[in-house]
Amino acid sequence: MSIKYLFLFLFVLSFWGCAFFSYNREKNEFTGVDSKNRKFVSFESISINLYWGWGLMYVQLNQIYLLHKTRPSRFQNILQKDDLCNSIYFKSDNWLGEIATTSASNDETVDLACGYLLSDIQKNYMTIKHEFADLLKNSLNREFMILDADTSFQVIYWGDSLEIESEQIYNHRTVNYSLKNLNLQDIPDSLYLNRSVYEFYLPKKAFLYSLKIKMNLSFLKDYEPLKIDPKLLPLESPKYKALKASEETLKGK
């Protein structure tokens, strides 16, 4: 990836937010769910911008919430290890950095932004589809599949209908698929049986894929807004700081 795109990454990410939790046991807590299948981290919405032409993806959690009695200090500890994105989405060495900021929507809460370098800038559809599906699956705690459909990507998911803001998606609807027609061998029955199935489509070969998914706020009744002393914000991970330092060094030459 060229220096020009690293600069662009820093510029875009500076307008986003980032934050989350601490190590080993603390990290495992944030990666998993409780006895009621509730994630320890939730949020009001997630924004995803995938720049296919540059091989970059930006993900932002807007207005973060923690399950009751989860300590905010754990969030800060994991961020300082550059491991929030690994814990929340999926584990990869391709995460470029993390930053936590005061939420643009509510100055009493925190946003979290992460940058990601796609595995194959040469437009490897199969690899990028898996990365995108894993990101949706882990952040939203539900099952997703992304399939090829001629000139489009077909996104299938289980559970309640998602509220998605995007000018690119189309044919977002409930469907009734024969499970035999889908490759579901690795999906536990509990994830899809007796649940509604939905689909939507995204055009292939777009330079930018942009969507925002709003959460059902009724599920936040057992959560509390993540609050961090504003004097500590923004919180920048080591990788993010290193990229910023590289930018400043090159600017000075």
- Treating both helix axes as pointing N-terminal to C-terminal, what angle do 3-13 and 238-251 enclose, rounded to 10 degrees? 120
- Exposed/middle/buried for 138, CB within 10 Å: 0-12, 13-18, 19+? middle
Which of 34-38, 122-126, 142-146 has the lowest average pLDDT? Answer: 122-126
Distance (Å, whole) CA 33 – CA 216: 18
Residue 9 predicted with pLDDT over 90: no
DSSP tag of 182:
S
CA–CA gap between residue 234 and residue 90 (Å, rounded): 23
**Interatomic CA distance for residues 97 and 103, integer angstroms:** 18
Give the C-alpha separation, 82 to 20, whole Å: 10
Of 90, 24, 56, 78, whose CA–CA distance to 237 is shortest? 78
Answer whether residue 183 shows pLDDT above 80: no
What is the band of 15 on the pLDDT scale with cuts at 50, 70, 90? very low
Strongest mean pLDDT among 8-12, 120-124, 242-246? 242-246
What number of CA atoms fall less than 13 Å from residue 234's CA on the CB side?
20
Interatomic CA distance for residues 86 and 94, integer angstroms: 10
pLDDT in the model for residue 211: 94
The whole-number pLDDT of residue 68 equals: 79
Q: Which two tokens stand for residue 197?
A: 């199935």
pTM of structure: 0.80
More confident position, 84 or 22: 84
What tokens were used for 186?
A: 């690795």
Contact 27, 83 (CB under 8 A): yes
The CA–CA distances, whole Å, from 239 to 26, 85, 153 equal 21, 12, 32
What is residue 184's predicted lDDT score, i.e. its pLDDT? 56
CA distance 58 to 40: 22
Tens of pLDDT, residue by residue over 30-72, are: 666 777 777 788 899 999 998 887 888 999 999 999 987 778 8
Structural domain spans, the chain: 3-131+206-251
Nearest to 29, CA basis, from 239, 117, 248, 20: 20
68-77, 181-190, 207-216, range with the lowest pLDDT = 181-190
Single out the residue of 60, 12, 94, 53 nearest to residue 208, CA to CA: 53
